[in-house]
Amino acid sequence: MEHADWSTLYPWLVWALTIVIGVGILLASLGKQLHIRRLPAIDAIEEAVGRATEMGRPILFVPGLADVDVPTFQAIAIAGHVARLAARYRTRVLMPVTNTVVLTMAEQVLREAYAEGGAPQAFRAEDVRFLSGDQFAFASGVVGLMNREQVAANFFFGVFAAESLILAETGQTLGAIQIAGTPSTLQIPFFIAACDFTVIGEEYYAVTAYLTREAILLGSVWGQDICRIALAALILGTTVAQHWLPSSVMKFLKG
């Protein structure tokens, strides 16, 4: 019997992943409560908003440098959650952006979030502002905004590059509580060094799924977790079988 190689197994694994994710999305759409581990950064979001409210100072939310893309959508969704919490206490949320399309999206999301939070009058359109499309000009503008407004909490979610440490160090100097999350792998060490809480790698997408509870996001994350567990069990089972099953059984399985 011929042994299956990776090229043979790969399509089956893709189909299995697709089916499990599809089932997860279907279950979430039907209202079933799918479990996703609650990350420490989620609890820290409420703590940061509360601290800014106690100090009577605004919150800064930076959605990264990317144009309209998946990480930007995730960041704006998280910003909406932050704004809903801030609306309860009439706390300002400052949101500088690098793209005019993102500006329009962010303004609409924050406006709706304040309305859902019961304080539509607390939303100020000028708090969502376009600074610059240039990387370091934008970073300089954000640093200036931090210092002028004396922000008490900083949220950095989205795609970042070399400016990540500039922004995080400035916030640390001001004594702001800082929460960051990015799919930009190279920037994660800088956020870990300078921020209080950091969402690492794919946890970035899990946070959005947990906060929004949208069926597609929730089902996708849940399905991927199930596939990881199954793959880990398969690897562990294969390893155990290789070392512990009798040689006669192994010969039979190998054909």
* Structural domain boundaries in the chain: 40-212
Question: What tens digit of pLDDT does each residue of 48-60 get?
Answer: 999 999 999 999 9
Q: What angle do CA 142, 143, 149 make, to 5 degrees?
A: 85
Question: What tens digit of pLDDT does each residue of 154-179 get?
Answer: 999 999 998 999 999 999 999 999 99
- The pLDDT score that the predictor gives to residue 1 is 43
- The pLDDT score that the predictor gives to residue 107 is 94
- The pLDDT score that the predictor gives to residue 68 is 84
What CATH fold (topology level) applies to the domain 40-212?
Rossmann fold (3.40.50)
Residue pair 53/140 in contact (Cβ under 8 Å)? The answer is no
- pLDDT < 70: residue spans in the chain: 1-7, 9-10, 244-255
- The pLDDT score that the predictor gives to residue 251 is 61
84's CB contacts (< 8 A; 6+ apart) are 113, 114, 116, 117
- The pLDDT score that the predictor gives to residue 6 is 58
Instruction: Note the pTM of the prediction, 2 decimals.
Output: 0.80
- The pLDDT score that the predictor gives to residue 5 is 57
